Amino acid sequence: MITVMRLGHRRGRDDRISSHVGLTARQFGADKIIYSGEKDTNMMESLDDVIDRWGGFFDVEYREDFRRVIKDFEGLKIHLTMYGEPLDEKIDEVKRKEEDVLVIVGSQKVPREVYEMVDLNIGVGHQPHSEVAALGVFLYELEDREIKQGFEGADVRVVPSEKDKLMEEG
Ligand SMILES: C[S@@+](CC[C@H](N)C(=O)[O-])C[C@H]1O[C@@H](n2cnc3c(N)ncnc32)[C@H](O)[C@@H]1O
């Protein structure tokens, strides 16, 4: 099972990117997202609405105390940061462990203690970019470059097309 935790959500300022972290987690094989920072019922409800419509099993949860989440998690704890060890060098180690995985991404400055609390700090490159990009690339590698298709119980589906925007419902 893969759980993603998004640290330090700020209502208003981070709505769009935080919901994109959730959608990216779902598309690339995670089972659950935990938000910490400011509680944002609207953002989480609109994410739930999208998930209901597009199907699959994906949990969305808020936890005020991110330290408790990290401490209590039973499995491999990974923090994505540009300061971490290179993804290419660490991904095989992560895959070998066959444990539940907690993948942590930040928003603004991540508290120093997070670097100490996790098993691995991993960089997706060593340039500053985005939590969405870092998470997408990390999960893509973790899931052996398989992009998840088919989400159970979807109300809508895309019909892939060369030029048109085709959808089917029901
Ligand atoms: C916009 S960045 C802000 C980082 C912040 N300046 C800090 O020092 O923690 C937000 C998040 O994107 C992720 N991120 C950005 N660049 C990354 C990289 N090169 N590798 C891995 N994660 C990255 C990290 O999880 C980071 O906390």
130 lines ligand 1 (CB under 6 A): yes
Q: Looking at residue 150, what is its pLDDT?
A: 87
Cα(98) to centroid(ligand 1), Å: 26
Q: Looking at residue 133, what is its pLDDT?
A: 98
Q: Looking at residue 108, what is its pLDDT?
A: 85
Distance of CA 14 to the CA centre of its chain: 15
Q: By CB neighbour count within 10 A (0-12 exposed, 13-18 middle, 19+ buried), where does 56 fall?
A: middle
149 lines ligand 1 (CB under 6 A): no
CB 139 within 8 A of CB 2: yes
Cα(106) to centroid(ligand 1), Å: 6
Atom of ligand 1 nearest to the CA of 104: 25
137 lines ligand 1 (CB under 6 A): no
Domain boundaries, the chain: 2-169
Q: Specify the CATH number for 2-169; select among 3.90.25.10, 3.40.1280.10, 3.40.50.720, 3.30.300.250.
A: 3.40.1280.10
Which of 126, 129, 142 is the best mutation target for the ligand 1 pocket, counting ligand atoms within 8 Å of the beta carbon and taking the most? 129
User: Kind of pairing, strands 76-86 and 101-105?
Assistant: parallel
- In tens digits, what is the pLDDT along the chain, a chain of 170 residues? 999 999 999 999 999 999 999 999 999 999 999 999 999 999 999 999 999 999 999 999 999 999 999 999 999 999 999 999 999 999 999 999 989 999 999 998 999 999 999 999 999 999 999 999 999 999 999 999 999 998 999 999 999 999 999 999 98
Q: How many degrees, rounded to 5, is the angle at CA 72 between CA 112 and CA 49?
A: 90
Ligand 1, atom 24, lies closest to the CA of: 81
Q: Looking at residue 98, what is its pLDDT?
A: 87
Which of 21, 80, 83 is the best mutation target for the ligand 1 pocket, counting ligand atoms within 8 Å of the beta carbon and taking the most? 80
Cα(150) to centroid(ligand 1), Å: 30
